Amino acid sequence: MNSKDSSARGRLNVAIVGAGFMGRAHSNAWRQAPKFFDLPLDVSMAVLCRADSARAQEAAELLGWESSESDWRNLLTRDDVDLIDICVPGALHADIAVAALNAGKHVLCEKPLANTVEQAEAMAEAAQRAAARGVQSMVGFSYRRAPAIALARRMVVEGKIGRIQQIRAGYRQDFIVDPNEPLSWRLEKDKAGSGALGDIGAHLIDLCQYLADDTITEVSGTLETFVKRRPLAAPGSGLGGRQAAEGYGDVTVDDAAWFLGRMSQGTVASFEATRFATGRKNELTIEVSGSAGALRWNLEDYNVLEYYDGSEPAVESGFRRILATEPDTPYYHAWWPTGHVIGWEHGFTHQVVDLVNAIASGESPRPTFAEGLSVQRVLAAVERSAASRASWTDV
């Protein structure tokens, strides 16, 4: 529990834009973070912004925000807003983030950073200019903040698996296998940028670059759209969207993406991102094979990190399951006694904790917008590679 005296402390007034799936996940994180972690600033959930004023008011009350707005531009001039948390489709990220940073507001932006490399470049430039004025920005790759993943990174840094040679990453969902699943914004390129590639493949790219502390420099990939037309969705539908009364529209993004990546220090990685893995609901697996051991994580087994220690005698060796719920496990001390497992939403809370700490200390929080841009470049290179059917494409 937060035990610090709040009278002498600074305040961080937060505004959120969006109240869909991610808006709800982030709202939960802003509510939980001060209740469980000792934060250096008092967080106030000041404003929720959503396009329609009645729905904005309703969502603000439901999710715990003090007030509501229906136009994000109004947030830029409000003195009671220090930070803008962007939880809307990718097409709006660049406009909101650049304006917010220029107005001196810290920014947390959902992944992927943008829909195009050009937008991401503008955002990274704005972030760099803002950082010189003490205004911070962060991309919401929340899986970095799963305790098991943060532990894996720590073990890599400690040399527990030696030199990383190979990474196998996959993100498998099946929520649009049914051809009658409506055409929600995630299936429209002008709103989402890309399909499985950017929505879930971006997580894999970020985790791969984060765990290896390296960048992907070349890719070779292919994309597939299995269902090319779908029933139109009711306005505002997200995941598991509702069908509109009538009409069909074109799916303009990929349903699945496969690619290989080469990293600057010689690591080779393989990736699969698909919304058509029948029976797989939200299976993100990443396995990092090093010269001295290996680590593996599966999102659906959130608290477990598998570890293979190559120095053990072969006759007794094998992957073992580490339950990442010890007081010394990153982030875990704030939650429950050992073994009382946590879940998917906690990564968002840890993200808020790290962001607030960075703002208070004046350090740049990670992942930076520059890191978000680097992921964006990989996404774009995979699309170019798939379109050209060339073997290897520079990032």
In whole angstroms, the minimum distance from the beta carbon of 200 to ligand SOE comes to 5
In whole angstroms, the minimum distance from the beta carbon of 70 to ligand SOE comes to 24
Q: Which is nearer to ligand SOE, 282 or 291 (CB)?
A: 282
Structure tokens at 270: 């393989």
Q: Which is nearer to ligand SOE, 153 or 172 (CB)?
A: 172
Q: Which is nearer to ligand SOE, 34 or 241 (CB)?
A: 241
Q: Which is nearer to ligand SOE, 231 or 241 (CB)?
A: 241
Residues paired with 170 in a beta bridge: 272, 285
Structure tokens at 68: 């509501």
User: Taking the alpha carbons of 32, 367, 239, 18 in that order, is the dihedral positive or negative?
Assistant: positive
Contacts to ligand SOE from residues 24-83, by CB under 6 A: none
Helix axes 147-157, 346-361, angle to 10 degrees: 60
In whole angstroms, the minimum distance from the beta carbon of 14 to ligand SOE comes to 20
Q: Which is nearer to ligand SOE, 119 or 351 (CB)?
A: 351
Judged by CB under 6 A, which of 15, 86, 97, 200 binds ligand SOE?
200
Rg (alpha carbons) of the chain, rounded to whole number: 21
- Residue for token digits 């074109």? 250
In whole angstroms, the minimum distance from the beta carbon of 206 to ligand SOE comes to 11
Residues paired with 307 in a beta bridge: 295, 320
Contacts to ligand SOE from residues 211-250, by CB under 6 A: 239
Helix axes 21-36, 53-63, angle to 10 degrees: 30
Provide the 3-class DSSP secondary structure of residue 83: strand
Q: Which is nearer to ligand SOE, 240 or 327 (CB)?
A: 240
121 binds ligand SOE (CB under 6 A): no
In whole angstroms, the minimum distance from the beta carbon of 25 to ligand SOE comes to 9
Count of residues binding ligand SOE (CB under 6 A)?
5
In whole angstroms, the minimum distance from the beta carbon of 20 to ligand SOE comes to 10
Report how far residue 392's alpha carbon sits from residue 131's, in angstroms, rounded to the nearest whole number. Answer: 35
Contacts to ligand SOE from residues 159-188, by CB under 6 A: 173
Contact 72, 49 (CB under 8 A): yes
- In the DSSP assignment, the letter for residue 361 is H
Residues paired with 106 in a beta bridge: 83
Report how far residue 23's alpha carbon sits from residue 110's, in angstroms, rounded to the nearest whole number. Answer: 10
Contact 83, 15 (CB under 8 A): yes
Which residue's Cβ has the minimum distance to ligand SOE? 199
Judged by CB under 6 A, which of 85, 121, 199, 254 binds ligand SOE?
199
Structure tokens at 201: 């493949």
Whether the link from the prior residue into 112 is cis, omega within 30° of 0, is: yes
Helix (H) or strand (E) holding 33: helix 21-36
Q: Which is nearer to ligand SOE, 199 or 287 (CB)?
A: 199
In whole angstroms, the minimum distance from the beta carbon of 346 to ligand SOE comes to 13
Contacts to ligand SOE from residues 244-283, by CB under 6 A: 282
In whole angstroms, the minimum distance from the beta carbon of 345 to ligand SOE comes to 10
Binding site for ligand SOE (CB under 6 A): 173, 199-200, 239, 282
